[in-house]
A and B are shown apart, each in its own frame.
Chain A
Amino acid sequence: MEEDEFFGEKTFQHDCAEFIKHSQQIGDGWEWRTSKDSSDGYMCKTHLQIKSGTTVSHLGTSALVQTCLPMEEALEPPLDDFELTETATATEVIKYEYHVLYSCSYQVPVLYFRASFLDGRPLTLKDIWEGVHECYRMRLLQGPWDTITQQEHPILGQPFFVLHPCKTNEFMTPVVKNSRKINRNVNYITSWLSIVGPAVGLNVPLSYAGAASQDE
């Protein structure tokens, strides 16, 4: 039994479960997957994106999320769900997958992600970054995390891009310490994902914050 765990695997699974509960309420598409041969698992989400930059959530809800668009594109009228399916063609739709796993080595969550066209052709890291707004790209380059590298998914065994976890503890410790100081419960996964997600094109709606502080 671990007494000195800052963020143990049980807490990880608990916080993910809470996160997914809220995701289900707002149709944000996150789900939990367990590996066939053991008790551990991970959280994952798939979303489709048209190359122009407008995102439709996988479950096709009415919550249409706009990613930051460069000025010229922002002048185009926003498309609603119905228009989107008519104008999308196979080569322009990109499938993004985000997986949140627990690293027992660093005792923190780790974000794995990959993107491909619908015909299976993978996107390179450069392609993925082209879909990320400038402001987040700068943060990624200056942020207190090492790098994004391609690594083997520990459960699926396939290549994914990974945000290296060795600095996660560094930027999460003040968040957790502060929440304890003001006696307010924080969902580690919510806080962490809202920090690292946008840098790789993953949006975390604000309503998660409200849900997190209502726990207990």
Chain B
Amino acid sequence: MHYPIGLLFDLLASSSALPWNITVHFKSFPEKDLLHCPSKDVIEAHFMSCVKEADALKHKSQVINEMQKKDHKQLWMGLQNDRFDQFWAINRKLMEYPAEENGFRYIPFRIYQTTTERPFIQKLFRPVAPDGQLHTLGDLLKEVCPSAVAPEDGEKKNQVMIHGIEPMLETPLQWLSEHLSYPDNFLHISIIPQPTD
């Protein structure tokens, strides 16, 4: 699928040594499993579609809709041409929230596991509890993917990975969303079996 390459690595090959050797096929395109990618425009459309969906969750689409087409273009071009400052000039607006709130409306996230039929878990989840406490990564997992978290006294069965690292479960989700999201503004989280070595 159109998944970020880092996510694919975490999910499928995190124990592999770098460089990651992959096999490229030129025949027998698996129509039933993969999306076609005929041009760069398709990738841009997919990327912008993810950014828009993330903003629908964070800001009811207000921030992305207030932007002009040229801002959307700058976001994409910044990513495509690896221009950090150009990208963040626009992206920082997507990371803001009203002063009176303690965070976004909902956190854009997707949790991936190779063991399930469903491609990913995505649900509505607020970064702040009604009492004002910031929800953590652990809170999120307990709520939407309880099988991923080991019981208090049990053995750790899984690794919870974002960008190749295992953030502490006590990390506030709002912070993760602002600092560890992918360029599409989503937190792509992989749950993989704990390596046995």
Contact = CB atoms under 8 A, between A and B. Distances in A.
Interface stretch (A30-38, A46-54, A184-192, A197-205): A30-38
Interface in B83-141: 108, 116-120, 122-124
B52 interface: yes
A37 B117 contact: yes
B45 A147 contact: yes
Contacts, number: 64
Given A149-B45, A149-B49, A159-B34, A154 B120 contact: yes
A150 B118 contact: no
Given A152-B119, A154-B119, A154-B122, A159 B56 contact: no
Nearest to A169: B61
A164 interface: yes
Nearest to A149: B45
A152 B1 contact: yes
Contact of B36 (A105, A150, A157, A158): A150
A85 interface: no
A66 B46 CA distance: 35
A24 interface: no
Given A36-B117, A37-B116, A159 B52 contact: no
Nearest to B1: A152
B118 A155 contact: yes
Interface string A153-190: 11111110000101000000000000000000000000
Given A104-B124, A154-B119, A157-B117, A122 B31 contact: yes
A120 interface: yes
Contact of B32 (A35, A159, A164): A159
Given A149-B45, A149-B49, A157 B119 contact: yes
A47 to B, nearest CB: 19
A159 B53 CA distance: 18
A120 B45 CA distance: 27
Contacts of A105: 53, 56-57, 108, 122
B165 interface: no
Contacts of B118: 35-38, 154-155, 157
B122 A104 contact: yes
B49 A158 contact: no
A197 to B, nearest CB: 22
A166 B31 contact: no
A49 to B, nearest CB: 19
A158 B33 contact: yes
Interface in A120-150: 120-122, 147, 149-150
Contacts of B35: 150-152, 159
Interface string B57-86: 100010000000000000000000000000
Which of A37, A105, A149, A159 is packed against the most chain B CB atoms within 10 Å? A105
A154 B123 CA distance: 11
A159 B32 CA distance: 6
Interface of A: 2, 35-38, 104-106, 120-122, 147, 149-159, 164, 166
9 contacts: A35-B118, A37-B116, A105-B56, A105-B108, A150-B35, A158-B32, A159-B35, A164-B49, A166-B61
